[in-house]
Amino acid sequence: MSSTVGESAVGSIAVIGLVAVWAAAIVAPTVAGSQVPVTLRTMALPAWGALFALGLVVVVARGGAYALLGAHH
C-alpha cells in the first residue's frame, strides 16, 4: 500500500469521526429537544469566529510545509 493510499484512508476515517462527533453533539440533542443548539445560536458567533481565525492561522503557517511533495513524483 502506498503512503498516499494510506494517508487517504486515515484522512477518510478522521472525517467520518468528525461527522460522528458533530452528529452526536449537535444534531442529536437538537432533534431530541426540538431546540436550536447553543453552538448554532448568535451568541456563539464570536467563538466560531475565533475558531475560524485559529484555523486560518494554522493553514497559513503550515501552507508551505507540503510544497515539496510534488518534487517526489
Quote the mean pLDDT of the chain.
Answer: 78
Q: What's residue 65's pLDDT?
A: 67
Contact 30, 37 (CB under 8 A): yes
AA letter at 57: V
Contact 44, 38 (CB under 8 A): yes
What secondary structure does DSSP assign to 20-37, as a single string? HHHIIIIIHHHHHHTS--
Residue 28 contacts by C-beta under 8 Å, 6 or more apart in sequence?
none
DSSP reduced 3-state for 57:
helix
**Residue 68 binned pLDDT confidence (cut-offs 50, 70, 90):** low
Identify the residue whose cell numbers are 492561522.
57
pLDDT, tens digit (0-9, with 9 covering 90-100), for 19-38: 898 888 877 877 777 777 77
- Of residues 62 and 43, the one with the higher pLDDT is 43
Q: What's residue 73's pLDDT?
A: 53
